[in-house]
Chain A
């Protein structure tokens, strides 16, 4: 049950058991292990620095409850800190427009087109009438892929062209949605690199054209240290209101979640957890905190302590 980090913390903390307060040296030794765990989970090294500093302030002088296992006590403090950094309770979608508009953006292959289908399915199940809009006119067969997803979940799709400029398609989709009785428009866009100025400009133009209620940034949970630069560039270049963390059904620790949240302050709204249209759920910061730390089930462990 005790995972790698907890057992390392046990060793680092064993000698303080029942000794009152955590001293600076013990906290240093402990934080060293926590730093490594966070880096191994792909949390950006600058973000790690910030977290470790905050933890240091919190831990030095902390009372070690005699009854508690100090390692568990520290793990608890750490996961609380991560949970806080990940944004507390999960945030929903604010869809007020008529039609309401959701736009998806992100790097190539991050899971946008799949998420478009998943969001449509979710909203449909809540009584909405979604329409998917094909604004990826770049990747081969992207339009066809979106059409298949629309068919799979049984919603409208607006895909008038397979090549050319996606901005007019986006703009016209609003009227099309009204005509066909749809009350939510979900705009799929081409994958783009955050360093590609031209394509970032295109995404901004699509956003401008449809004025989304929610622009969601889709990011792969397996991403490494660059997550911070990517997220910041999408925030500056396109702008977004929330994040979808994809491919969480893998075994990546997903430290990117922390990095993205720390540098953008935007909430992670959904977790994408598979290839099927139903593999989609609200994001849970508490589960993510234990996942990043590499703890099977930290909370139960702590509760038992």
Chain B
């Protein structure tokens, strides 16, 4: 497969002249330039060095196998499917993240998948802050045939979420997806506001089936503090990693998964309606070394 080839070939090249310090440095650089992060990279490389010593690995192929295992372990083996309600009421997915990562677009793509599978979707435009945010979500509702619940700019986002759930319930829809305004995780007030949106929804719906954090694959080390803050504020259950169609590798999710145990569930691969895929750890790990 493509996976074995790229990762195998590039890392094998690196260790082609033996398992040397230069080769380890090269691997370190490859991981850092994929945004895996300094701490995670140093730990992964240390671990690999130790294991290859202990296990008597002397070939490039041996290192490749260990590295693959290490990265796969770092990404965990959790269930990556999206949660669904097992009771009567509609499933609720709340979508969060910092500004401009791709929340609204990802929601549009998700709605398309769901509607295509004959599930009725309601979208709630709880971003009442950014200029034309509700119009943007409205266009996605039109494209996908989902219903839209919105209010005027400046309305209380929690009340939009509330009405979204009420509408989904009344229509006996299968799924409510709530869009929220982008917010930087260091802004206390905005994070509290998000917490309120979630609490209001939970009061109606019980525990939400998913609270997704949308991370931009171009994000560097700040991704960890984003994930930490959103996890703390709204107990994120999974990550959607967007813009993987660019040249960034999205390596920050390795650190996020290692440190916080947050699984990546979805990847965004473009701006079009079908540019969404389930996260495939093998493809992802392979991609980390694509341009080595």
Contact = CB atoms under 8 A, between A and B. Distances in A.
A252 interface: yes
Nearest to B37: A40
Given A45-B29, A250-B186, A275-B129, A40 B221 contact: yes
Interface residues of B, number: 47
A250 B135 contact: no
A135 B37 CA distance: 37
B222 A141 contact: no
Contacts of B16: none
Contacts of A249: 184, 186-187
B220 A141 contact: no
Contacts of B138: 141
A195 B136 CA distance: 25
Nearest to A112: B100
B38 interface: yes
B219 interface: yes
B32 A144 contact: no
A223 B99 contact: no
Interface stretch (A58-66, A84-92, A103-111, A296-304): A103-111
Given A226-B246, A229-B247, A152 B131 contact: yes
Contacts of B35: 42, 224-226
A275 B219 contact: no
Interface string A37-50: 00111101100000
B150 interface: no
B218 A220 contact: yes
Contacts of A252: 220-222
A138 interface: yes
A247 B219 CA distance: 12
Given A108-B243, A139-B271, A255-B220, A247 B252 contact: no
A138 B270 CA distance: 12
Contact of A148 (B39, B99, B100, B131): B131
B277 interface: no
A50 to B, nearest CB: 14
Interface in B81-139: 98-102, 108, 129-133, 135-136, 138-139
Interface string A74-113: 0000000000000000000000000000000001111101
B65 to A, nearest CB: 26
A107, A142, A226, A251, most chain B CB atoms within 10 A: A226
Nearest to A152: B131
B38 A36 contact: yes
Given A107-B246, A249-B184, A42 B98 contact: no
Given A108-B271, A109-B99, A223 B220 contact: yes
A260 interface: no
A28 B31 CA distance: 23
A80 to B, nearest CB: 24
Nearest to A48: B32
B136 A39 contact: no
Contact of A193 (B38, B102, B245, B249): B245
A149 B218 CA distance: 26
Interface string B242-268: 010111110110000000000000000
B184 A224 contact: no
Ordered nearest first, which 7 A-B pairs have the shortest CB separation? Answer: A224-B220, A109-B100, A42-B220, A148-B131, A140-B139, A145-B132, A252-B222
15 contacts: A36-B38, A40-B39, A108-B243, A111-B100, A113-B131, A140-B140, A146-B131, A152-B131, A193-B245, A224-B35, A224-B221, A225-B34, A250-B222, A253-B222, A275-B130
Given A193-B247, A251-B184, 20 more contacts: A39-B38, A40-B37, A108-B271, A139-B136, A140-B108, A140-B140, A141-B133, A141-B136, A144-B131, A144-B136, A148-B131, A148-B132, A194-B246, A220-B218, A224-B252, A225-B33, A250-B222, A251-B186, A253-B221, A275-B99
Interface of A: 36, 39-42, 44-45, 107-111, 113, 117, 138-142, 144-149, 152, 193-195, 220, 222-226, 229-230, 247, 249-253, 255-256, 275
